[in-house]
Amino acid sequence: MRFGMLCCLMVFAFFVPVKGFADETFPVEFAVLLTEGDPVSGSATCMVDKQCQLLDSKLPGFEISLKVHSGQGGVTGELMVSCEKACSFENERPKVDFVYKRGARLRFGFKKGAPGIWVPLVLMPKSGIGEILLVFP
């Protein structure tokens, strides 16, 4: 009798949906500090596993968005940048991965130049456009 009851409880526990982080929204505050131009800041409420536009019309020529994923490996996210002229993060890609944690303050630099690794005849560093600051209160 006890074994049957225990089996029923275990099956019930596996099939009853539990509201977790995957169903939640989370706040994010951001700032874009440009080397040439005025800083732009704002805040947004985003949903887990959905694309969240942070900056699209506040700063002409730039789009910044993020997406936070919830999975078995923990809570991770990716920040994406798109510029009128080509730009990329320090990793030479238009997106960068991060680990999401409430209370975290993250800083990402981005620079001019097309994403990807190029082997030019003359090595020239790409000039920085600015930094993106994220705060997860």
pTM recorded for the entire structure:
0.73
CA distances (Å), origin 99, targets 66, 71, 78, 118, 131:
12, 12, 9, 28, 18
Grouped pLDDT means (10 residues each) for the chain, 137 residues: 40 38 81 90 93 81 90 84 87 90 92 66 69 93
DSSP reduced 3-state for 1: coil
CA distance 26 to 30: 13
